Amino acid sequence: MLAGMSRQRIFINGIVQGVGFRPFVHSLATCLGLRGFVVNDTTGVLVEVEGSSAEIAHFVERLQTKAPRLAVVESIRSEPIATTGEQGFAILASFHSDTQHLALISPDIATCVDCLREMFDSADRRYLYPFTNCTNCGPRFTIIRDIPYDRPFTTMAGFEMCHDCAQEYNDSGNRRFHAQPICCPACGPRLRLTDRDRISQSGDPVRTAAKLLRDGCVVAVKGLGGYHLAAIANNESAVAKLRSRKHREEKPFAIMVADEAMARRLAEFGHSEQNTLASARGPIVLLRRRDDAPIARSAAPGNRFLGLMVPYTPLHHLLCSELAEPFVLTSGNVSDEPIAYADDDAFERLSPIADYFLTHDRPINMRAEDSVVRMFRERSMPIRRSRGYAPEPLRLPWKSPRLILGCGAELKSSFCLVKNDYAFMSHHIGDLENFETLSAYIKGIAHFQRLFDVTPEIVAHDLHPEYLSTKYASEMRGVELIGVQHHHAHLASCLADNGEQGPVIGAAFDGLGYGTDGTMWGGEFLVADLLGFERVGSFEAVAMPGGTAAIKQPWRMAAAYLARLFPQGLRGEFGVVRRNRRQWEAVTQLARAQLNSPLTSSVGRLFDAVAAILGIRDVINYEGQAAIELEQRAAPEESSAYQPSIESGPLWMVRSTEIIEAVLEDMSAAVPIEIIAARLHNTLAALIATVCEAIRAQRGLTAVALSGGVFQNDFLLTRTVCKLEQRGFRVLTHRQVPTNDGGISLGQAAVAAAHARQGR
């Protein structure tokens, strides 16, 4: 044995499987003349290297600094072991260790430029092949059945590699060295086009599908995480047909564009938006719509923004190339159902909607909707966190001593598992309001538990007893249950999202959440940390006549506010009364008597009331529609605001009825709706800053966290953050998880982890 030789065993944790990490290690070790091996196991990547101490030190340093662009190296730990004198460096077959699973799973990655170049090279053997991928791109999370991430544990297991693919897979100098989904036209998945009866159509599937789309047909397209429904974006008849069949009256459709140039014909955006649009995560990005955007009215009716995405799979690139025009690409489901991903289920559920199916024989193991983001201060802010992001974990600022499940809320449901300092937040599940979505939720939890070796000891849930997520938690056996108040979970989610523990002043504004006093909260000021909270301020509570009916019919909230404002009867004539005269008196009586009319302090419901009073929206077709349309009507140049009372006492109380009164005065003075809408937003921003100042004077806190679905409103969020910063506050907003109920599960899990650390 040569003098000065040593051997190190190195443990690497992070997203280091499925991202070309082992080929990178092999190349690096070979370049440095080191001997040994690299292997995937259930903890991450294990490396043994033998050589001089200086070479090994250089090797370890470059593991961190020169890792593949898709890798996330969380930790590197090494220990000296006895030298063996072996020759060469090898990639060994992966194995399951007896230790707990610590390996992280890569999200699905958009097609890389190298694969694109091959796909459109007529001399390449993967020319126009719709499943081209390599170690830098392609399916990951949606095809994984178990770990370690190797082909036998993915849905590619049924496709035996041909000779050419096997050569690439085993060639350490090849870009597809140990790329688990590797395939080609000779050995990989096959594309086919069928009608509703699964009868195959002749000709090239992509070219024929493009022709059918141009002819006005609706085509179901099997993507990475499920089926989508496609229609040409500027064909009003086709888009309207899709909307009617899908039972999605007005909620905007996402639109796929071939590239940046096509996107700029539809929307206006800057450098940061372009980077996000073209990123490897491939989300839908909400962009400001051009007035002359050539799309059908039905694609995004009455909306100033368009949700655009560029192709993120080879199949999408081929479709875009054939069509050369934008097309709607929306989730393959009937509204309120989970996206279809299994072939038999897709044909059964989507046949009443789609005229044809562009499908293939690579199974999808886990459904994943497209992610949706919008930009805030030159960075992306998730609205829906799913494909391209999940299951990449968030890091908590400390380790949890126990394994935890956060069950989430009801709307925009997600779940979150905590293990050590990792928070594994799920993909978007949907609204837990039917059996199909509940089944997807339960399957997702089981899959994450298996992948990350988490059997929860603590299960955190919402306080609302009727949420299906709460009922799911209550039926679990052998676990400790912890109920987390909805708005505390919102603020805890914001804290965890920013790697902080609190305490902070928190403004939690949303549609509603079950309060500790039996009312429905939604306009709350809390002093909160991860362990607990104190409610120190709120908006005035008003009746919600008809309960959940008031959510779908904003005019009911207008009736409740007007009944509160005019207890002796209305003074003056109001359009919202005329439009709903048949039910107005009965609903007003419900509100006054508080029969089937729970009290709510919700700012979301305040937005609804104003939208109805202004004649913008009496009845909604999707969650938050009235508030969204009110935001879009707001004049950005308007700076004035109303001056409602803020009463001190046990709680700082915002008199929201005075906001309604000011709106009515503006209406009687013929102030344009756009000005009134802007004044409402400006008023809320000023109120938040004023109440936070009052709380700071009492508690000495200088950080403010903003969370809840209302803060998806860019107009409000921008003005609120500016006013708070002008008054010397440090402001925390969401960065990695949604501010809406999609982020609740993280907050619940973070609260439970904080309690576990305290031994509670």
d(C-alpha 469, C-alpha 489), whole Å: 14
Residues whose CB is less than 8 angstroms from the CB of residue 738 and which lie 6 or more positions away in sequence, other chains included: 382, 383, 384, 385, 412, 712
Residue 69 reports pLDDT greater than 80 = no
Residues above pLDDT 90, as percent of the chain: 80
Mean pLDDT of 298-307: 93
Render pLDDT for 344-364 as a digit per residue (tens, 0 to 9).
Answer: 999 999 999 999 999 999 999
> Looking at the domain assignment, is residue 292 inside a domain?
yes
Q: What is the pLDDT of residue 83?
A: 87
Whether residues 266 and 295 share a domain: the answer is yes
Identify the weakest region by mean pLDDT among 253-262, 327-336, 607-616: 327-336
pLDDT band with cut points at 50, 70 and 90 for residue 740: very high
Answer whether 410's CB lies under 8 Å from 431's CB.
yes
pLDDT band with cut points at 50, 70 and 90 for residue 103: low
Whether residues 727 and 751 share a domain: the answer is no
Domain count, the chain: 5
Mean pLDDT of 111-134: 97
> Looking at the domain assignment, is residue 472 inside a domain?
yes
pLDDT band with cut points at 50, 70 and 90 for residue 97: low
pTM for this one? 0.91
> Looking at the domain assignment, is residue 106 inside a domain?
no
Whether residues 269 and 166 share a domain: the answer is no
Answer whether 745's CB lies under 8 Å from 414's CB.
yes
Query: Which of 487, 463, 382 minimizes the C-alpha distance to 425?
Result: 382
> Looking at the domain assignment, is residue 511 inside a domain?
no
pLDDT band with cut points at 50, 70 and 90 for residue 756: very high
The token pair at 328 is 């709607």
d(C-alpha 28, C-alpha 45), whole Å: 15
Single out the residue in 323, 341, 372 at which a domain terminates: 372
Residue 2 reports pLDDT greater than 60 = no
pLDDT band with cut points at 50, 70 and 90 for residue 745: very high
The token pair at 349 is 């559920």
Q: Are strands 219-222 and 356-360 parallel, antiparallel or unpaired?
A: parallel
User: Residue 220: which CATH number?
Assistant: 3.90.870.40
Query: Which of 369, 198, 408, 211 minimizes the C-alpha distance to 283?
Result: 369
User: Residue 41: which CATH number?
Assistant: 3.30.70.100
The token pair at 519 is 């009312």
Q: What is the pLDDT of residue 730?
A: 98
Mean pLDDT of 633-642: 96
Identify the weakest region by mean pLDDT among 19-23, 367-371, 431-435: 19-23
| Alpha carbon separation from 255 to 232, 251, 262, 529 (Å, rounded) | 9, 13, 11, 40
Whether residues 413 and 312 share a domain: the answer is no
Whether residues 344 and 409 share a domain: the answer is no
Per DSSP, helices labelled H in 553-624 are: 554-565, 575-579, 581-593, 603-613
Per DSSP, helices labelled H in 78-148 are: 113-119
Single out the residue in 315, 339, 372 at which a domain terminates: 372
Residue 41 reports pLDDT greater than 90 = no
Whether residues 564 and 646 share a domain: the answer is yes
d(C-alpha 21, C-alpha 178), whole Å: 9
Mean pLDDT of 627-652: 95
Residue 40 reports pLDDT greater than 60 = yes
Burial (0-12, 13-18, 19+ Cβ within 10 Å), 596: middle
Whether residues 470 and 544 share a domain: the answer is no
Mean pLDDT of 692-704: 96
Q: What is the pLDDT of residue 147?
A: 80
Identify which has the larger pLDDT, 21 or 515. 515
Which residue segment(s) compose the domain that 583 sits in? 520-529+536-732
pLDDT band with cut points at 50, 70 and 90 for residue 104: confident
Mean pLDDT of 545-550: 94
> Looking at the domain assignment, is residue 510 inside a domain?
no
Residue 87 reports pLDDT greater than 70 = yes
Mean pLDDT of the chain: 93
> Looking at the domain assignment, is residue 166 inside a domain?
yes
Whether residues 664 and 690 share a domain: the answer is yes
Render pLDDT for 376-408 as a digit per residue (tens, 0 to 9).
Answer: 999 999 999 999 999 999 999 889 999 999 999
Whether residues 452 and 559 share a domain: the answer is no
Residue 98 reports pLDDT greater than 70 = no
Whether residues 208 and 341 share a domain: the answer is yes
User: Residue 463: which CATH number?
Assistant: 3.30.420.360
pLDDT band with cut points at 50, 70 and 90 for residue 1: very low
End-to-end CA distance of the chain: 56
Identify the weakest region by mean pLDDT among 82-86, 195-199, 252-256, 619-623: 82-86
Render pLDDT for 413-433 as a digit per residue (tens, 0 to 9).
Answer: 999 999 999 999 999 999 998
Q: What is the pLDDT of residue 739?
A: 98
Whether residues 199 and 163 share a domain: the answer is no
Whether residues 363 and 493 share a domain: the answer is no
Residue 227 reports pLDDT greater than 70 = yes
Answer whether 130's CB lies under 8 Å from 314's CB.
yes
> Looking at the domain assignment, is residue 108 inside a domain?
no
CA 616-622-623 angle, to 5 degrees, is 90
> Looking at the domain assignment, is residue 425 inside a domain?
yes
Distance of CA 729 to the CA centre of its chain: 28
